[in-house]
Amino acid sequence: MIARAHESVANESKRQNDIFDLEARSLDRIAETGERNAQVFIMNKELANLDDDSKEYFRLKKKEILDDLRRNSSS
């Protein structure tokens, strides 16, 4: 009886760990999607109507995105 209880607790613990792992992977995917969406927004941002500081910000961010893409594609 005690052995069955321990087995039941172990099985439930494994099931919960599996659920936590799935949730962690889902959260990682959500974060990656959010980052990609932000990058697409930055890359598509029209700079013509922005002040000089904002233009510089978006130019630097675009360069950073492109540098990261180049670095990741060569590795």
Is pTM, for the whole model, over 0.75? no
Sequential pLDDT tens for the chain (75 residues):
888 989 999 999 999 999 999 999 999 999 999 999 999 999 999 999 999 999 999 999 999 999 999 999 987
**Cα atoms found within 13 Å of the Cα of residue 48, Cβ hemisphere only:** 1
What's the confidence (pLDDT) of residue 75? 72
Domain boundaries, the chain: 1-44, 47-75
Tokens of 50: 């922005």
What's the confidence (pLDDT) of residue 68? 96
